[in-house]
């Protein structure tokens, strides 16, 4: 059986980037590949399946890779037909037939500029970009012979319009550094809205996402600023089924990653793609998202969602959806249609098939 490897130093983050890799692996598995991921602790498989679902129970865990020297990694790579590598900026020389470097963050530090050996190793990897935004930033700083665009895909196509509850949802990892999801902006905006708009008092704001102990201080801060408001709920490390249930119930989706960041100066700090936004759209949830980075490719203004640049605009657009249920429902239908057509399984598989053929 032909073999493929999925390599990332970030498997334990359990975020959208890891799901992106697993979806690539699932496609390969469906096409006859034996798929391995490289991680020192084999228990990572249990955590990945709990977070993303049993659909991904197709891979094995190679726990020896990190212990190998650079040359051992090179020799070992010859056993693989294809390697998909989400690098942290380091590269190895691969003997696999097909080598792809996944760029999911528009951080130009991932491009080696000052080390000829790293540059030489980098040259054998074909870049795959997760958005036009990420691609545009990288191609300003790197010359590559060949590259591909592969949008992440939705988890599964939700065909039925769900009865919606009065829930505003935001899904994303809880951390206050790098490309933070800025949950504090959403909490403060919601609290401000509660004081001004009686209609908002009927709604819950639910913030859900993965959480690592290193980010405890940020989580404590979010809990502190929301502790006096029963309408705000913070839910951590939910299972795949629990997250899907929230998407189905929520009527409005908020996302603030990139807030007050200069997109041109610090593109790595805004949302690179935003798979959670697309998942919400797939479940007939209308997005109101910060206007920067990848979300400008996934949301069509006034058709499948709204953009905001300031909290007052976030609230104004949200109130528009609350006061006009027929508008909210029509935009929810538009959002679902756009998610399926542009980011559904068929579109993803067609793109990936062209890449590996």
Residue owning tokens 């829930």: 167
Residue 273 near residue 16, CB atoms below 8 Å: yes
Domain ranges of the chain: 3-150, 167-343
Q: Does domain 3-150 have CATH number 1.10.3470?
A: no
Tens digit of each residue's pLDDT (9 = 90 or more) over 154-174:
977 777 787 899 999 999 999
Give 268-327 pLDDT, tens digit per residue: 999 999 999 999 999 999 999 999 999 999 999 999 999 999 999 999 999 999 999 999
**DSSP single-letter state for residue 162:** P
Burial of residue 311 (number of CB atoms within 10 Å: 0-12, 13-18, 19+)? middle
> What pLDDT does 69 receive?
92
pLDDT digits (tens, 9 = 90+) for 73-102: 999 999 999 999 998 888 999 999 999 999
Looking at residue 192, its pLDDT comes to 97
Pairing of strands 98-103, 126-129: parallel
SS3 assignment, position 287:
strand
Answer whether residue 120 shows pLDDT above 90.
no
Nearest to 187 by CA among 227, 137, 139: 227
Beta bridge partners of 168: 205, 252
pLDDT at 212 over 90: no
Q: Do 3-150 and 167-343 fold alike per CATH?
A: yes
Tens of pLDDT, residues 50-70: 999 999 999 999 999 989 998
CATH number of 167-343: 3.40.50.2000
The 10s digit of each residue's pLDDT in 8-33 is 999 999 989 999 999 999 999 999 99
Residue 109 has pLDDT above 90, yes or no: no
For residue 277, give the 3-state DSSP assignment. Answer: helix
Distance CA 95, CA 93 (A): 7
């Amino acid at each position: 059986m032909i073999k493929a490897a999925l390599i990332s130093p970030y498997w334990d983050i359990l975020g959208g980037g890891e799901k992106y890799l697993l979806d690539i692996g699932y496609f390969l598995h469906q096409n006859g590949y034996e798929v391995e991921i490289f991680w020192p602790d084999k228990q990572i498989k249990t955590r990945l399946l709990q977070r993303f679902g049993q659909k991904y129970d197709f891979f094995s865990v190679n726990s020896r890779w990190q212990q190998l020297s650079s040359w051992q990694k090179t020799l070992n790579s010859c056993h693989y037909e294809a390697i998909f590598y989400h690098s942290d900026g380091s590269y190895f020389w691969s003997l696999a037939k097909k080598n792809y470097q996944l760029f999911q963050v528009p951080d130009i530090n991932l491009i080696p500029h000052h080390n000829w050996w790293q540059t030489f190793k980098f040259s054998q990897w074909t870049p795959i970009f997760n958005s036009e935004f990420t691609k545009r930033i990288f191609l300003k700083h790197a010359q590559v012979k060949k590259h591909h665009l592969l949008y992440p895909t939705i988890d599964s196509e939700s065909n039925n319009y769900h009865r919606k509850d009065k829930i505003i949802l935001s899904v994303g990892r809880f951390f206050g550094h790098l490309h933070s999801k800025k949950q504090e902006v959403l909490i403060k905006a919601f609290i401000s809205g509660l004081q001004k708009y009686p209609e908002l008092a009927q709604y819950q704001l639910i913030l859900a996402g993965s959480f690592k102990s290193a980010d405890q201080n940020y989580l404590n801060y979010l809990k502190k600023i929301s502790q006096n408001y029963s309408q705000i709920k913070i839910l951590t490390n939910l299972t795949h089924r629990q997250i899907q249930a929230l998407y189905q119930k929520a009527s409005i989706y908020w996302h603030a990653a990139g807030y007050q960041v200069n997109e041109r100066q610090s593109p790595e700090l805004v949302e690179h793609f935003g798979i959670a936004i697309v998942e919400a759209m797939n479940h007939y949830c209308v997005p109101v998202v910060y206007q920067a980075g990848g979300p400008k490719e996934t949301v069509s203004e006034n058709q499948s969602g709204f953009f905001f640049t300031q909290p007052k605009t976030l609230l104004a657009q949200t109130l528009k959806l609350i006061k006009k249920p027929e508008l909210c429902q029509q935009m929810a239908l538009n959002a679902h249609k756009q998610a399926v057509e542009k980011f559904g399984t068929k579109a993803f598989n067609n793109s990936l098939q062209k890449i590996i053929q």
